[in-house]
C-alpha cells in the first residue's frame, strides 16, 4: 500500500520545519528568537509610549507656532501704532503665562524691577527685530521708547 500524506499532518510538519529553519537561521539561534518573542509586549508598550510622547511634542510645536503668530501680529500692531506698548506687553504676559519656559526665559534674560518691565523689554526686543526687517516705520522707535519710559520710568533704546 502506498504511503499517503494526510493534510492534517501537513500543518504540524510545516510548523516544525519553520521552527527548525528559525533555529538555524535566526541570529543567535532559537533561544534569541524566543527571547525576542517574549519581549514583544514590552516593545509594543514602549512604542505606544513613544507615540503618545510624539503626539505631545507635535501639540507643543503647534502651540508654539500659534503663539509666535499671535506675537508677530501683536508686534505688527505695536509698530503700526494700532496698539500701545502697555497693551502689547499685557498680551505677551498672558501668552507667556501658559508656557513656563517662555515666562522663565523672560524672567531670567531681561533686567527689570518687575516682571512687567522684563516683559516690556522682551516686547521691545521683538519690535527691534521686526523694525530691522521693516525700515518703513522709521518714526516708530521713538514712539515705542516714549511708551517704555512712561510705562517703566526708565529709558530704553529701540534701534
Shared domain for 34 and 65, answered yes or no, is no
Shared domain for 70 and 148, answered yes or no, is yes
Cβ 18 vs Cβ 30: under 8 Å: no
Pairwise CA distance, residues 4 & 83, whole Å: 92
- H helices of the chain, in order, are 7-25, 29-38, 40-80, 85-97, 100-109, 115-133, 140-152
Q: Is residue 52, in this structure, part of any structural domain at all?
A: no
Shared domain for 22 and 73, answered yes or no, is no
Which range marks the domain in which residue 33 is found? Answer: 9-38
Q: Is residue 13, in this structure, part of any structural domain at all?
A: yes
Shared domain for 28 and 63, answered yes or no, is no
Pairwise CA distance, residues 120 & 78, whole Å: 12
* Tens digits of pLDDT across the chain (159 residues): 565 656 666 677 777 777 677 666 767 666 666 676 777 788 788 888 888 888 877 777 878 889 899 999 999 999 988 999 999 999 999 999 888 888 999 999 999 999 999 999 999 999 988 888 876 655 678 888 888 889 988 888 776
Residue 119 CB-density burial (10 A; 0-12 exposed, 13-18 middle, 19+ buried): buried
Q: Is residue 45, in this structure, part of any structural domain at all?
A: no
Shared domain for 18 and 76, answered yes or no, is no
Q: Is residue 83, in this structure, part of any structural domain at all?
A: yes
Shared domain for 21 and 63, answered yes or no, is no
Shared domain for 23 and 90, answered yes or no, is no
Q: Is residue 75, in this structure, part of any structural domain at all?
A: yes
Angle formed at CA 109 by CA 108 and CA 113, multiple of 5 degrees:
70
> Would you state the cell numbers that stand for residue 89, as one nine-digit string?
506687553
Q: Is residue 67, in this structure, part of any structural domain at all?
A: yes
Q: Is residue 50, in this structure, part of any structural domain at all?
A: no
Pairwise CA distance, residues 158 & 109, whole Å: 17
pTM higher than 0.75 for the full model?
A: no
**Diameter of the chain by CA atoms?**
111
- H helices of 81-112, in order, are 85-97, 100-109
Amino acid at each position: 500500500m502506498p504511503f499517503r500524506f494526510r493534510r492534517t499532518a501537513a500543518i504540524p510538519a510545516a510548523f516544525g520545519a519553520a521552527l527548525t529553519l528559525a533555529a538555524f537561521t535566526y541570529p543567535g539561534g532559537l533561544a534569541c528568537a524566543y527571547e525576542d518573542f517574549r519581549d514583544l509586549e514590552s516593545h509594543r508598550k514602549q512604542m505606544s509610549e513613544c507615540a503618545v510622547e510624539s503626539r505631545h511634542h507635535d501639540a507643543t510645536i503647534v502651540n508654539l507656532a500659534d503663539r509666535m503668530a499671535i506675537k508677530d501680529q501683536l508686534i505688527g500692531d505695536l509698530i503700526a501704532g494700532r496698539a500701545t506698548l502697555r497693551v502689547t506687553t499685557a498680551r505677551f504676559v498672558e501668552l507667556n503665562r501658559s508656557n513656563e519656559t517662555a515666562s522663565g526665559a523672560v524672567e531670567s534674560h531681561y533686567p527689570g524691577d518687575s516682571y512687567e518691565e522684563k516683559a516690556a523689554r522682551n516686547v521691545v526686543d521683538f519690535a527691534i527685530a521686526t523694525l530691522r526687517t521693516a525700515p518703513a516705520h522709521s518714526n516708530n522707535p521713538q514712539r515705542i521708547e516714549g511708551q517704555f519710559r512712561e510705562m517703566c520710568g526708565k529709558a530704553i533704546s529701540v534701534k
